[in-house]
Amino acid sequence: MASGSLELLAPGKVNLGLRIVGRRADGYHLLESVFLPIDLADTLRISLRPEPGVALELSGASEGVPADGRNLAARAAEAFLAAAGSEAGVALALEKRIPAPGGLGGGSSDAAAVLRGLAALLPGRVAPERLRALALALGADVPFFLAPRPALVTGIGEASEPVALPRFTLLLAHPGVPLATSAVYAQYDAAAASLTPRRPGPSLRALLALREEASALQSLVTNDLEPAATILCPTVAELRKEIEATGASAVGMSGSGPTLFGVFPGTHAADAARRRIRRRAGLRTWVVETAPSDARAPGPGPAGA
């Protein structure tokens, strides 16, 4: 009977820029974004057990995270066991550090970590191509986290190619206001319908070629969803101004928000900026580093404040 357990980190990500470049007939938005894994990570312990089914235990910053079968990590375990034809059960102990929702990919990363972990505990039961198909069925961002590396992501988020980027030090700031991805996209669509179509900006692929020019960095981090997120959560605009005032070389919003990030030359500068941001109810901040292109594995997640 199958047995064993292991512990994995499920790293978050930031979007170093996000552009909406089209929309499919089924309503899904086509995007172009640069995904950077960060060392703010959830911790996941996966244990095989003889009892069938999936048991999930949550701890840490888990407010708003479903603790039942709706949880993406639990759904990933169920999908893997079904694909593997396994009668074993799985116990998941998930310690959350990544805010949800926050635009940092925590749920998607948790799901991918479950798939990676079960593939290691039940080797050869699910082929790599099938594993990726399971990941995509769970969510467009999940395949990226099967092997998180800096990448240019296109399509609805399912297509990625590695990019060569250095390590960045970031200050993250989450206003403590939940902001559903679906609501942000709905607001984006409502605003787009009332505006004259704008001329497309330069692609992120072109801007990556200029990554060493400081003048290109702020253009690179432009997020087309930020105006919509700001309408739904005005604190986003307030936080942006505060981070800009600390001297960040660039400020952006990750994913559909509401987490903002500022780019700094090192942890000392980022920590100083963190202390200058006005404290408000619900605000959470972290100083993190992105994974460089040659990273072998995500590092441990830092504690938030």
b/e map of 6-19 (b: 16 or more CB within 10 Å)?
A: eebbbbbbbbbbbb
Distance CA 101, CA 258 (A): 8
3-state secondary structure string, 201-242? CCCHHHHHCCCCCHHHHHHHCCECCHHHHHHHCCHHHHHHHH
Distance CA 93, CA 70 (A): 15
Distance CA 23, CA 102 (A): 23
Catalytic site positions: 13, 141
The answer to whether the beta carbons of residues 76 and 138 sit under 8 Å apart is yes
The answer to whether the beta carbons of residues 48 and 4 sit under 8 Å apart is yes
- Which secondary structure element, helix H or strand E, spans residue 187, and what is its range? helix 181-193
